[in-house]
Amino acid sequence: MVIGAGFTGPDIACDCAKAAKNVFLSTRNGIWLAPRVSAMGLPFDLILNRLDLLKERWLPSWWTNKNWANLMESRVNHEACGIKSKYPYMNMLRTITVSDELPLKIYSGQVKTRPEIKKIAGNTVTYVDGREDFVDTVFIATGYTPYYSFINEEILPSELGEARLYKWMFPFQLQHPSTLSFVGILGPAVGGISPNAEMQARYVARVLSGKKKLPSKEKMQKTWTETREELLRSTGGKFIFRTNLFHYQEDLAQDLGLVPSFFKLLLTDPKLAYVYYFGPVVPYHYRLVGDHCWYKARERSLNIMDEALSGMH
């Protein structure tokens, strides 16, 4: 029995299926199962372009939810597999799991999906729908809640929803907010922490160097309140310490002057403009202009598809 279907749980379940007689995967709220290889025959992260992600931000949520649901369902029938998510794609409470192996294991019967667990008594697992299974081993892959015991609760509460952090980095309640910052504790709803952490580190470095001043305490409070309320609206009132990776990166980059002007790029370098908006979103994009831009960023941005696929042949 594997409890939890984020990233770790399905990997454990698939590995166990190679040896165990029965493998059960329990998920409380269901998941959105995204393929590593898209229907277009490319790695999934290479089909996400900046224009699509910007449309996701500004178009109605019902359109975005439907668009993503159609994309996910094109590869896996979530309801038939017993993993249909209780939350729409744009709700930060949803879980997105990236796996090509899991649907194959489910369809072949090597991994059997189950709903939320009601109780475990001895070797018998009872689910909320009344079904029961006999299991020898239970893996708990439900994640964890970070807690920083060495930091005063008034600065960083154990309930992160109450953490008063400007841009989710600077504790604006302090007399000197710029003297303390938190990099890497804000997790993206999908994807790795590293891109978030890199952009946060650049932001903090700019503040510490004196090249960027934090706004007044009142403005930071206002920004925090608006950001938090927007998140609560998207989840129906439940706070979760997550963010949309691209939107958060883009906001920080805009604030730091790292996003090229659309019209200037279109007029001066149309080839790069096309790749920038219709090609994969890559970290090189944030090294094209502004502080610490990189002379090879343009070349790497233009050739990213060839470089990404070069190891395949």
Express each pLDDT in 258-274 by its tens digit: 999 999 999 999 999 99
Does some domain include residue 175?
yes
Q: Is the pLDDT of residue 221 over 90?
A: yes
End-of-domain residue from the set 111, 140, 169: 140
SS (H, E, C) 162-221: HCCEECCCEECCCCCHHHCCCCCCCEECCCCCHHHHHHHHHHHHHHHCCCCCCCCHHHHH
Does some domain include residue 33?
yes
Q: Is the pLDDT of residue 39 over 80?
A: no
Q: Which residue has the higher pLDDT, 245 or 199?
A: 199
CB-based contacts of 86, cutoff 8 Å, min separation 6: 29, 30
Q: Are residues 35 and 53 in the same domain?
A: yes
Percentage of residues of the chain with pLDDT beyond 90: 59
Question: Could you tell me if 142 and 1 are in contact, meaning their C-beta atoms sit under 8 angstroms apart?
Answer: no
Instruction: Indicate the SS3 state at residue 280.
Output: strand
Range of weakest confidence among 13-17, 198-202, 309-313: 309-313
Q: Are residues 129 and 16 in the same domain?
A: yes
Q: Are residues 132 and 163 in the same domain?
A: no
Given this model, what pLDDT does residue 171 score? 96
Helix or strand (DSSP H, E) at 132:
strand 132-134
Count of domains in the chain?
3
Q: Are residues 87 and 113 in the same domain?
A: yes
pLDDT, one tens digit per residue, over 83-132 is 999 998 888 888 989 888 999 999 999 999 999 999 999 999 999 999 99
CA atoms of 270 and 293, how far apart (whole Å) = 19
CA atoms of 247 and 240, how far apart (whole Å) = 16
Q: Are residues 185 and 286 in the same domain?
A: no
4 phi/psi in degrees, rounded to 5: 110, 130
Given this model, what pLDDT does residue 109 score? 94
Predicted TM-score (pTM) of this structure: 0.88
Does some domain include residue 34?
yes
List the domain range (segments joined by +) for residue 292: 260-313
